[in-house]
Amino acid sequence: MPKLEEAMAALIRGRPVLIYDGDHREAEADFVVRADAVTPGLVRWFRQNAGGLLCFVTTEDIGRALGLSFLSEYYRGMGLSTTPRYGDEPAFMGYVNHKGTKTGVRDSDKALTLREMARVVNIALKDPELAKKEFLENFYAPGHVPILGARIGRRWGHTELSTILAKLAGLPPALAIIEVLGPSTEAMPYNEVKELAESLGVPLLRGEDLRAFA
């Protein structure tokens, strides 16, 4: 699959990839990049070319190893609805800033938080207890970077699709994703996403390109 191989190669090099989840889900495209490659300049580029919510992605297991749980579990306990129209409960497990940030919202701050979260994930893959210690010592909450936990095989959002792509590429589950909104008030439609991908030279995958590898 040349398209998939191109996307894996781009991700390995620290370059963005576009993933469109599908017409019958959110019908949105997200930029995906390995989190350890995020720079302040790239965060600014995402603001200009995407405009959605910049998030950190890892797996549910790693999130729980760090002491996090899904926010939907908390809000459901309050009696608040946790299911959007597309059906899957959101993947949010918390919002953090690295303690080295100033306000957390600046491009340089978000880049630092994302890179440091990637470092914690790399530790967690070898030593979950040490990773939790590093996480608790070096981050504070609430912050400006959402942490998303992938539930591969049980959910098919960009959180899961990006994690599947990282696994295929031999990379840790430590990614940054952001929705592409475009110039209109709605999500960018697929035909415009294709044009954007071609104009930027960014590989584009659809959800069905990745679901078979879950």
Q: Which amino acids are annotated catalytic?
A: 30, 55, 86, 97, 144, 179
- Given strand 92-98, what is the order of strands in its sheet? 92-98, 139-150, 55-59, 175-179, 29-34, 17-20, 204-206
Q: Residues 6 or more apart from 129 whose CB is under 8 A from it?
A: none
SS3 111: helix
SS3 48: helix
- Residue closest to 97 by CA, chosen among 110, 87, 84: 110
Tokens (6 digits) for 162:
């990006």
Packing angle of the helix pair 2-12, 158-168 (nearest 10 deg):
90
Phi/psi for 17 (5° steps) reads -130, 150
